[in-house]
Structure 1
Amino acid sequence: MKEKKIAIIGGGFIGAVTAIHLARYSKTPLEIIIIEPSKTMARGVAFSTQDSDHRLNGPSNIQFLYPEDIESFTKWLEDSGTLLKDHSAKINDGRIYARRRDFGKYVEQELFNHTKKNVSNSTISHYQDIAVSISRKKNTWYIFLNQLSSILVDKVIITPSNFLPSIPIELSPITKDPRFFSNPWSCDFSNKIKAGARVLIIGTGLTMSDMAITLLRDHKKIKITAISRRGLLPQRQRETLPQEPLWDALMRPIPNFIENHGSHNSVFRIFKIFRENVAKLKDKNIEWQVAFDDIRDAAYKLWPSLSIKEKGKYFRHLSPWYESHRFRLPPQTAQKLDDYRQQGKINYYAGSIIRVEVKNNFIQIHLRLRHNQEIVIENFDNVINCTGPERDPRKINNPIFAQLIDDGYATPSPFGMGFEVNNKYQSISQDKSPIKGLFFLGPLTRNAFGEINGIPTLIKQIYTAVKYISQN
Structure 2
Amino acid sequence: MTTLTSLECNIAIIGGGFSGTLTAINVLRACPPEGLRIILIEKNRRACRGLAYQYDDDNLLLNVPAGNMSAFAGEPDDFVEFCQELDPAFNAKSFISRRLYGEYLEEALRKTMHQHPGVISIINAEVKTLHPNAGNTSYKLIVEGSENIIADKVVLALGHFSPKLPTGIPEAMSSQVVNALDFAAIDALDRNATVAVLGMGHTAIDAVFRLTSCNPNRKVCMISRRGLLPHGHRFNPQPPNPGTFPAWLVASPLTIRAYASAIREEAKTREANGGNWRDVFNELRPHTATIWKGLPESERRKFLQKVLPYWDIHRHRLAPASARRIKQLIESGQVIQIAASVKGVAQTSSGLEVEITPKGHKDTRTIVVGALINGTGPSYDIATVGHTILSQLIQDRLIKQDEQRIGLEVDDQYQLITALGEPLVGVHYIGPMLKSKYWEAIAVPELRIHAHQLGQQLANQCRHTASPL
Cα offsets for 1:119-165 (capped at 9, x unmatched):
xx781111222111112122111212123333221111100112122
Instruction: Indicate if the aligned counterparts of 1:350 and 1:371 stay in contact, CA closer than 8 A.
Output: no
| Counterpart amino acid of residue 361 in structure 2 | N
Matched with 1:60 is: 66
Change (3 A) 1:429 1:326: same
1:128-277, aligned counterparts within 5 Å?
Answer: 128-136=124-132, 137-138=134-135, 139-172=137-170, 173-177=172-176, 180-181=177-178, 183-242=179-238, 244=240, 249=242, 255-257=244-246, 261=250, 264-277=253-266
1:43 alignment partner, SS class: coil
Which residue identity is paired with 2:415? Q
Residues 381-460 of structure 1: pairs in structure 2 closer than 5 A: 381-460=370-449
CA gap of 1:196–1:144, structure 2 versus 1, over 3 A, is closer
Shift of 1:383: 0.9
Classify 1:76/1:355 alpha carbon distance in 2 versus 1 (closer, same or farther; 3 Å). same
Query: Is contact 2:183-2:210 (8 Å) kept?
Result: no
1: distance between equivalents of 2:28 and 2:270?
Answer: 44
Shift of the alpha carbon at 1:184? Answer: 1.5
What is aligned with 2:24?
Answer: 19
Residue 279 (structure 1) aligned with residue 268 (structure 2) = yes
1:77 lines up with 2:75 in the alignment: no
Shift, 1:216, TM fit? 1.6
Aligned-partner SS, 1:457: helix
281-290 or 209-218: bigger deviation: 209-218
**8 Å CA contact retained: 1:41, 1:108:** yes
Q: CA deviation at 1:373?
A: 3.4
Matches within 5 A, 1:270-309: 270-309=259-298
1:470 to 441, 459, 462: 459
Q: CA deviation at 1:240?
A: 4.9
The residue that corresponds to 2:4 in the other structure is: none
Deviations 1:29-55 (A, max 9, x none): 432111112221000111011111001
Tell me how far 1:241 sits from its aligned partner: 4.0
Q: Which residue pairs with 1:112 in the alignment?
A: 110
CA distance in 1, matches of 2:31, 2:168: 49
- The residue number in structure 1 matching 2:313 is 324
For the residue of structure 2 that corresponds to 1:334, the secondary structure is helix
What does 1:335-354 align with in structure 2 at a 5 Å threshold? 335-354=324-343
- Residue deviations 1:311-358 (CA, integer Å, cap 9, x gap): 111111112221222211111111111111111111212221112221
Matched residue SS, 2:168: helix
Residue 201 of structure 2 contacts residue 230 of structure 2 at CA under 8 Å; is this kept in 1?
A: yes
Distance 1:259 1:10 in 2: 41
**TM-score for both structures, normalised by structure 1:** 0.90
The match for 1:126 is 122
Q: Distance in 2 between matches of 1:287 and 1:376?
A: 40
What is the DSSP-based 3-state SS (H/G/I as helix, E as strand, rest coil) of the residue aligned with 2:222? strand
Partner in structure 1 of residue 466 of structure 2: none
Whether the aligned pair in 1 keeps the contact of 2:246 and 2:283 (CA below 8 Å) is yes
For structure 1, list consecutive stretches of 5 or more residues without a partner in the other structure.
none
| Structure 1 equivalent of residue 101 of structure 2 | 103
Aligned to 1:50: 56
**CA contact under 8 A between 1:258 and 1:298: conserved in structure 2?**
no
- 1:424 offset after TM fit, Å? 2.0
Q: C-alpha displacement at 1:239, in angstroms?
A: 4.4
Deviation at 1:390, TM superposition (A): 1.6
1:10 aligns with 2:8: no
Which stretch of structure 1 is more off in the superposition, 64-73 or 38-47? 64-73
1:258 shift after superposition: 6.2
Residue type of the alignment partner of 1:112:
R
Task: Give, as a single letter, the amino acid of the residue that structure 2 aligns with 1:68.
Answer: G
Q: Which amino acid aligns with 1:148?
A: S
When normalised by structure 2's length, the TM-score is 0.90
Shift, 1:300, TM fit: 1.3
- After superposition, what is the alpha-carbon deviation per residue over 1:225-259, rounded to whole angstroms, capped at 9, x for unaligned? 111122211111134543656xxx3xx6xx43268
In structure 1, how many angstroms separate the alpha carbons of the residues matched to 2:405 and 2:239? 36
Distance 1:390 1:166 in 2: 6
Write the distance in 1 (CA, Å) between the matches of 2:377 and 2:433.
Answer: 14
Alpha carbon RMSD of aligned pairs, Å?
2.2
In structure 2, the residue matched to 1:370 is: 359
Aligned structure 1 segments of 4 or more residues deviating by more than 6 angstroms: none
Deviation of 1:404 (Å):
1.4
2:344 paired residue among 347, 352, 355 = 355
Amino acid at match of 1:213: F
Question: 2:40 and 2:252 mapped to 1: Cα distance?
Answer: 39
CA distance, structure 1, for counterparts of residue 249 and residue 312 of structure 2: 23
User: Structure 1 residues 365, 221: closer, same or farther in 2, change over 3 A?
Assistant: same
Deviation of 1:291 after TM superposition, in Å, equals 0.9
Counterparts in 2 of 1:244 and 1:312: CA distance versus 1, 3 Å: closer
* TM-aligned CA deviation for residue 395 of structure 1: 0.9
In structure 1, distance between residues paired with 2:405 and 2:240: 34
Find the aligned partners of 2:194 and 2:413 in 1 and give their Cα distance.
Answer: 49
In 2, the alpha carbon distance for the partners of 1:391 and 1:404 equals: 15
Distance 1:408 1:176, change over 3 A: closer
Distance 2:29 2:102 in 1: 19
**Offset at residue 271 of structure 1 (A):** 1.2
Q: CA deviation at 1:27?
A: 4.6
